[in-house]
Amino acid sequence: MKRIAVLTSGGDAPGMNAAVRAVVRKAISEGMEVCGINRGYAGMVEGDIFPLDAKGVSNILSRGGTFLQSARYPEFAKLEGQLKGIEQLKKHGIEGVVVIGGDGSYHGAMRLTEHGFPAIGLPGTIDNDIVGTDYTIGFDTAVSTATEALDKIRDTSFSHGRTFVVEVMGRNAGDIALWSGIAAGADQIIIPEEDYDINEVVAKVKDGYATKGKNHHLIVLAEGVMHGDAFAAKMKEAGDDSDLRVTNLGHILRGGAPTPRDRVLASWMGAHAVELLKAGKGGLAVGLQNEELVEHPILGSAEEGALFSLTEAGKIVVNNPHKARLDFAALNRDLAH
C-alpha cells in the first residue's frame, strides 16, 4: 500500500489529534504517503483531501478537538454517498483509510472495505461506549475534566450548604458519571444502566443532612438518564426541600488537552492501524482489552469475534454491547456515607 488517508468522524474527542499524528508519522516511517480528509465522510465525498507530511502534524499531539474537523454525514450510510467517496479516494490515489470515530463511523469503514478500500476503525469518543474496547480515546480526559469540575462544585456546595445535581455527558452510557463520580466522592451517581427510585434519591439527600452530619450533597447524573433540570424537578416533586442547584458540564467535557493516557492510547492505536493496513488488512476496529491492543472484524459473525452482525432482515445487531461497570456503581454506594 503506497498511500493512505486518515479522517475523524462523529463527536470529537481529546486525543483524536494524537491519533492522526501517529497515523501520519508511522505511515511515513513505513515508506507510505498520507493524506488528511477534512470533516469526516462529508469531506471525503466533497474531495476535501490534502497531503500531510511529518511537519503537518507538528504541535497537535497536545491539542484537544480534531484539526481535521469532524462531521455527522448520514448520506454516507447510503450507497450513493459511498460511491462518491470512493471516486474521490481513487482520484487521490488512496488505497486505505484510517477512520477515528464511534460505532457509526466504523460502519462507514466497513463499507469502504467492502468496496475494495481497506479501512481500519479507531475508537474515538468521550463516552467510552464503543464495542470491542475497554477504553476509548478521549474518555480519560473527559473523566479528568469532569472530576476537576466536580471538585470545584463541591467547594461552593459546601460553602452554601447546597445540594447539586451535576449532569455529565454520556448519551447512552454512564461511564463518565461513574468514574468522575467515584473520583470526586459523589454522594449519588445516577446512570442509565441502573434503575433508580426518585423517592430513594430524595430520602438519601434528607438522611445526609438529618442524620449523617452532611452540610452538602453531590449527585452526578449521566445525560442518558435525563437532563439535570428535569431530574431536579422530579426531586422537588418527590419532596426534596434542600437548596438545590443544577449544573450541566455539557460540551466542556469534549474539549481540552488530552491526558497523557489518552495521548499514549491514541499514539499506540494510530500506529497499529497503519501496521494493519500495511499488512493489507481492512474492515477491522482496533481496541484495548486487558491493556493490550486487539482488533476485531467490524462486521461478521459473533463466533469470529465481529463487533456487529447482520440479521437475515438486514438489521445491524451489536454482538457484545459495551457495558458500564456496575460494580463501580456498587462501590460508590459502599463508599458514600
322 binds ligand ADP (CB under 6 A): no
State the CB neighbour count (10 A cutoff) for residue 107: 20
One-letter amino acid at 201 equals: V
First-to-last C-alpha distance (Å) of the chain: 58
Distances (CA, A) of 92 to 40, 60, 98, 273: 16, 24, 15, 20
- Of 161 and 321, which has the nearer Cβ to ligand ADP? 321
**Residue number, 47 or 256, with CB nearest to ligand F6P:** 256
Determine the number of helices (DSSP H) and then strands (DSSP E) in the chain.
Answer: 10, 13
Residue 251, annotated as binding a ligand: yes
9 binds, among ligand ADP, ligand F6P, none (CB under 5 to 8 A by kind): ligand ADP
Q: How far is 45 from 48, CA to CA, in rounded Å?
A: 8
Query: In 10 A of CB 248, how many CB atoms?
Result: 16
Q: Which is nearer to ligand ADP, 73 or 139 (CB)?
A: 73
> Is there a binding annotation on residue 325?
no
Selected binder of ligand ADP within 4, 10, 222, 283 (CB under 6 A): 10
C-alpha cell at 269: 492505536
Q: Is 266 annotated as belonging to a binding site? A: no
Nearest distance, CB of residue 270 and ligand F6P, angstroms: 20
Residue 89 vs 201, nearer CB to ligand ADP = 89
- The answer to the question of whether 105 is labelled as a binding residue is yes
Label residues 154-169 b or e (16+ Cβ within 10 Å = b). Answer: beebeeeebbbbbbbb
Cβ of residue 275: shortest distance to ligand ADP, in angstroms? 23
Cell of 208: 445526609
Q: Which does 105 bind (CB under 5 to 8 A by kind): ligand F6P, ligand ADP, none?
A: ligand ADP
Is 212 in contact with 203 (CB distance < 8 Å)?
no
Residue numbers annotated as active site: 127
- Report strand pairing: 217-222 vs 163-168: parallel
For binding to ligand F6P (CB under 6 A), which residues are involved?
A: 11, 125-127, 169-171, 223, 254
Q: How far is residue 194's CA from residue 324's CA, in Å, rounded to a whole number?
A: 10
Which of ligand ADP, ligand F6P, none has residue 167 at its interface (CB below 5 to 8 Å by kind)? Answer: none
Q: Which does 108 bind (CB under 5 to 8 A by kind): ligand ADP, ligand F6P, none?
A: ligand ADP
262 is in an annotated binding site: no
Report the binding-site residues.
Answer: 11, 21-25, 72-73, 102-105, 125-127, 154, 162, 169-171, 185-187, 214-216, 223, 245, 251-254
Binding residues for ATP: 11, 72-73, 102-105
